[in-house]
């Protein structure tokens, strides 16, 4: 329940804000201290706009999250539709070219102090503050430096926001346009409409801004305003809906493990640059063991540390599965007993902690995206695409060119290779477990992209299909069509691209080329199919949005996991000994991408419905062919193979003339992996010695040595 503006607690808090912001200047209510507490010390808690030490705890109105509709914006003037008032949303991104319908701010047509941006809250609320940014543009630098605020209940009479007896002037952007600046009002104000009135702006630019507004809802016991407000949002699931820092994430995972010890196991796959462990939650009816014939699935979240929706969804998912399994939910019981599930909530914990310190409204678009070493991990995996394409161009007999299990390049295994410890850990993880299906959870858009991410000949945009293009499109469609927001035909586009015209799925290369992506590496180096899911327009939504994000994605997360049971599966064995054959090649006719059997001889080949001619072959064995029919049901067709050994003389004859025998390819792949792991151990040992020599300084202290870097990357 919102408190009255006469509440003594509010007045006390506002007095502190006023004192803090009026040091050395009576009239200007500043925000240069958003990184400091009331005593001038660096904040150690996340400085979200709705979690500051001073003032009422009010959430964002919803400009950034798109809860505020375009029709709720008005302005005194605007230069053109692409710079209209509806573009005045915090963190909104422009298109590549200025001048289109999707520029990155509201920009006034005239440069004077009579310009304003107006937002209708649809009902009376308690306004407590404004967050401002400049214009997002590759070509233009524009921002508002100071501004006033007016409020109204009828749009006829406007009351200025006061600082004592004088009209308050608030600080906006400084130096550059991307950093969000928070200004809390000296006193909260109840109103329905709010105006931001720029007073000064960047001297070499013009009046342009992006904004978020902080406002607490007021009680409405008689539902007077219900017809104007949006439909109720949230979730009926009783889950831990909040942002979890590293310590809180560990606590939650431990709690799930304690509640469901029979089906869960927590393990680590490595450490981040600063020493934070990469925790994984395994969910299975036999945790800790690969069961013959049971497929392995993974969700990876937080590759970009500031894209936090995936992290929280994965944490919610493990809570939900545990609870529903205990309740006997048939769907969840079936999923857990037939699938080994691995959930990595935070691949980039260093980046997340950086963004978390600022908070959901003040982290901006890029802070925390990169690793501690400023590496984009989705460009940090070996580029196997061009190795394969170059080999095919130089090979007249394409049968000799590997289309799967391509070894890591030699340069990538060296100690001085620019490979993050997090990337090394994930690659090693991929080798240890025979994953079949995966999704890489991102944020900042609403679309599902599928391989290949890297284009041929370095084209910036080009549809670059895999041999399994039809199945990848199916996987992407399964997620997108069951996501409540993506499936809504009336939804607003996030930034500048309309993915609804593609049914909310797109080939990665057709969107923008990404050499060294995890999706492509997973497909070409292992048996695992992987897509990227852009979960939300808002990379770092306020905690109050998390229940809605869970409801939007819950069914998608579950049904996508169930796709691991499509296609064919079986065991490749020695006909005489009945033992499983590892690394047997499974070749489907007319599909130029093979897969391999796991250590015990079991395999899984994801396929759409149809009838397929399938051949199994292993070094030293005669090939065996079967016709396997895949139905529309969501369970795999069993296609086992029993192979007969070839005599020694035949093996020698077959080996002649083959430039790279299959066993040599496997040996090279294993050798490169051993080298990568050896270099990783050496690097980790040096890093650990360095940490001890520095006295074990905290992550935050070590981070303070790194200077700021301004980046505006793609989603």
Active site residues: 534
Beta bridge partners, 266, equal 281
On the question of a cis peptide bond just before residue 107, with omega within 30 degrees of 0, the verdict is no
Helix, coil or strand: residue 230: coil
Whole-angstrom distance, CA of residue 253 vs CA of residue 156: 53
Which residues, other chains included, contact 453 with Cβ-Cβ below 8 Å and sequence gap of 6+?
508, 509, 513, 514, 515, 517, 519, 520, 532
Whole-angstrom distance, CA of residue 626 vs CA of residue 614: 5
Alpha helices in 119-242 (DSSP H): none
Which residues, other chains included, contact 221 with Cβ-Cβ below 8 Å and sequence gap of 6+?
none
Torsions phi, psi for 696 (to 5 deg): 65, 40
695, two tokens: 């006295």
Inter-CA distances, 292 with 244, 572, 599, 643, Å: 36, 11, 10, 18
Torsions phi, psi for 325 (to 5 deg): -65, -40
285, two tokens: 């009816």
Give ∠ CA 357-361-363 in degrees, rounded to 5: 45
Which residues, other chains included, contact 630 with Cβ-Cβ below 8 Å and sequence gap of 6+?
566, 567, 568, 607, 608, 609, 610, 611, 612, 636, 637
Whole-angstrom distance, CA of residue 459 vs CA of residue 259: 50
Whole-angstrom distance, CA of residue 114 vs CA of residue 390: 61
Which residues, other chains included, contact 235 with Cβ-Cβ below 8 Å and sequence gap of 6+?
241, 547, 548, 550, 551
Strands (E), 294-389: 296-301, 340-344
Is 207 exposed, middle or buried, given 0-12, 13-18 or 19+ CB atoms closer than 10 A? Answer: buried
Q: To which residue do tokens 């937002």 refer?
A: 119
159, two tokens: 């009351």
Determine which helix (DSSP H) or strand (DSSP E) holds 439, and give its type and residue range. strand 435-442
Helix, coil or strand: residue 557: helix
496 contacts 136 by C-beta, under 8 angstroms: no
Angle between helices 469-482 and 546-562 (to 10 degrees): 140
Inter-CA distances, 124 with 149, 150, 154, 191, Å: 16, 14, 10, 5
118, two tokens: 């107006």
Beta bridge partners, 556, equal none
628, two tokens: 């396997």
Helix, coil or strand: residue 619: coil
């Amino acid at each position: 329940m919102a408190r009255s503006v006469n509440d003594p607690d509010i007045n006390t808090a506002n007095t502190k804000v006023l004192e803090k912001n009026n040091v050395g200047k009576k009239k200007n209510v500043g925000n240069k201290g958003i990184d400091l507490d009331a005593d001038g010390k660096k904040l150690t808690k996340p400085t979200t706009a709705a979690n500051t030490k001073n003032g009422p705890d009010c959430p964002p109105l919803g400009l950034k999250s798109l809860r505020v509709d375009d029709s709720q914006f008005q302005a005194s003037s605007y230069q053109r539709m692409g710079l209209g008032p509806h573009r005045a949303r915090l963190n909104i991104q422009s298109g590549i070219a200025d001048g289109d319908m999707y520029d990155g701010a509201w920009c006034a047509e005239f440069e004077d102090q009579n310009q304003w941006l107006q937002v209708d809250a649809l009902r009376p609320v308690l306004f407590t503050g404004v967050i401002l940014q400049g214009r997002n543009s590759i070509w233009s630098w524009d921002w508002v430096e100071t501004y006033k605020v007016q409020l109204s209940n009828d749009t006829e009479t406007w009351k200025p926001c006061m600082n004592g007896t004088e009209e308050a002037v608030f600080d906006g952007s400084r130096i550059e346009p991307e950093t969000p600046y928070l200004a809390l009002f000296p006193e909260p104000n109840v109103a329905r409409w709010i105006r931001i009135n720029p007073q000064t702006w960047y001297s070499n630019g013009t009046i342009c801004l992006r904004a978020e507004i902080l406002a607490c809802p007021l009680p409405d016991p008689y539902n007077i305003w219900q017809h104007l407000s949006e439909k109720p949002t949230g979730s009926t699931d009783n889950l831990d809906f909040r942002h979890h820092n590293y310590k809180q994430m560990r606590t939650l995972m431990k709690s799930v493990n304690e509640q469901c010890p029979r089906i869960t196991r927590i393990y680590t796959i490595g450490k981040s640059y600063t020493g934070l462990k990469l925790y994984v939650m395994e969910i299975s009816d036999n945790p800790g063991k690969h069961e013959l014939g049971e497929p392995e699935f993974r969700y990876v979240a937080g590759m970009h540390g500031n894209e936090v929706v995936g992290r929280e969804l994965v944490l919610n998912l493990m809570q939900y599965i545990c609870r529903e399994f205990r309740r006997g939910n048939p769907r969840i019981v079936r999923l857990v007993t037939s699938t080994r599930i691995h959930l990595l909530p935070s691949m980039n914990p260093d980046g997340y902690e950086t963004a978390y310190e600022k908070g959901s409204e003040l982290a901006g678009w890029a802070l925390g995206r990169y690793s501690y070493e400023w590496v984009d991990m989705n460009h940090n995996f070996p580029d196997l695409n061009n190795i394969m394409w170059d080999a095919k161009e130089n090979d007249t007999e394409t049968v000799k060119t590997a289309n799967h299990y391509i070894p890591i390049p030699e340069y990538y295994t060296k100690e001085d290779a620019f490979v993050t410890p997090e990337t090394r850990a994930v690659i090693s993880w991929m080798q240890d477990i025979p994953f079949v299906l995966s999704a890489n959870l991102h944020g900042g858009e609403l679309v599902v992209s599928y391989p290949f991410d890297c284009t041929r000949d370095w084209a910036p945009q080009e549809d670059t299909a895999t041999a399994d293009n039809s199945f990848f499109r199916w996987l992407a469609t399964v997620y997108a069509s069951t996501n409540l927001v993506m499936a809504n035909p009336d939804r607003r586009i996030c930034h500048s691209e309309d993915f609804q015209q593609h049914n909310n799925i797109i080939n990665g290369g057709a969107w923008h080329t990404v050499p060294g992506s995890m999706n492509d590496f997973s497909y070409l180096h292992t048996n695992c199919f992987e897509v990227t899911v852009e979960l939300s327009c808002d990379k770092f939504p306020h905690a109050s949005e998390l229940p809605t994000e869970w409801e939007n994605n819950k069914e998608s997360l579950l049904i996508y996991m169930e796709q691991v049971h499509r296609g064919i599966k079986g065991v490749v064995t020695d006909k005489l000994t009945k033992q499983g054959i590892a690394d047997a090649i499974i070749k489907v006719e007319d599909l130029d991408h093979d897969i391999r059997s796991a250590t015990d001889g079991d395999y899984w080949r994801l396929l759409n419905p149809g009838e397929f001619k399938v051949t199994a072959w292993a070094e030293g064995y005669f090939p065996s062919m079967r016709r396997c029919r895949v139905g529309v049901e969501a369970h795999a067709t069993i296609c086992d193979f029993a192979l007969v050994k070839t005599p020694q003389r035949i093996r020698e004859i077959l080996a002649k003339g083959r430039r790279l025998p299959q066993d040599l390819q496997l040996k090279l792949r294993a050798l490169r992996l051993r080298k990568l792991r050896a270099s990783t151990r050496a690097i980790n040992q040096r890093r650990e010695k360095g940490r001890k020599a520095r006295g074990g300084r905290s992550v935050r202290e070590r981070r303070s040595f790194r200077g700021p870097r301004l980046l505006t990357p793609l989603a």
